[in-house]
Amino acid sequence: MDHIHIGIIMGSQSDWPTMKEAATVLDELGITYETRIVSAHRTPDRLWEYGRTASERGLRAIIAGAGGAAHLPGMMASKTRIPVIGVPIQTRALSGVDSLYSIVQMPKGFPVATMAIGAAGAANAGLMAASILALGDPDLAKRLDDWRAALSASIPEEPCDD
């Protein structure tokens, strides 16, 4: 089996439809990853164990999505020096601003690279993880350049009526 480079973790099964966007991008770029439900509040021991072993297992980045009182990305960043990319999940009560504020305002010393709220943020988390990996992987760098060029080429020059 290929070495797993990226961990995609999330606080709940209900986060998966959003976090799937990150997985899709990694699939498109041929990057290996694992997916886990790891909740800061409901499964704190699982969080600690995941963070404790992340480096020795060879993970290069962790994409962490959570909603509401979204402590998962920050707590993971406190436990491992592996880059943590946070995805604020859109919530019903506060539209994800709660998630964003919970993730983005980290104290000095324990950064979380915080993405946009929701699906765009999850997709960008996948791309950010790819950018990190591409620094040491010329083949992946080429695939990422091609991916970006294809997106640019798909944008029409003029608007149309459908």
57 is in an annotated binding site: no
Would you count residue 121 as binding ligand RP5 (CB under 6 A)?
A: no
Q: Interface with ligand RP5 includes 66 (CB under 6 A)?
A: yes
86 binds ligand RP5 (CB under 6 A): no
- Give the DSSP per-residue string, 43-59: -HHHHHHHHHHTTTTT-
Mark the segment that binds ligand RP5 (CB under 6 A) among 26-34, 66-74, 109-117, 129-137: 66-74
Torsion of CA 41, 18, 123, 128, to 10 degrees: 10
- Is 152 labelled a binding residue? no
Asked whether position 15 contacts ligand RP5 by CB under 6 A, the answer is yes
Measure the CA–CA gap between 79 and 52, rounded to whole angstroms: 6
Per CB under 6 A, 89 contacts ligand RP5: yes
Is position 52 annotated in a ligand binding site? Answer: no
The residue among 11, 14, 36 whose CA lies nearest residue 23 is 36
Dist. CA 81–CA 63, nearest whole Å? 13
68 binds ligand RP5 (CB under 6 A): yes
Q: Is 35 in the site for ligand RP5 (CB under 6 A)?
A: no
Tell me the sheet residues that pair with 6: 33, 61
**Binding stretches for ligand RP5 (CB under 6 A):** 11-12, 14-15, 39, 66-68, 89
Which residues participate in the annotated binding site for substrate?
12, 15, 42
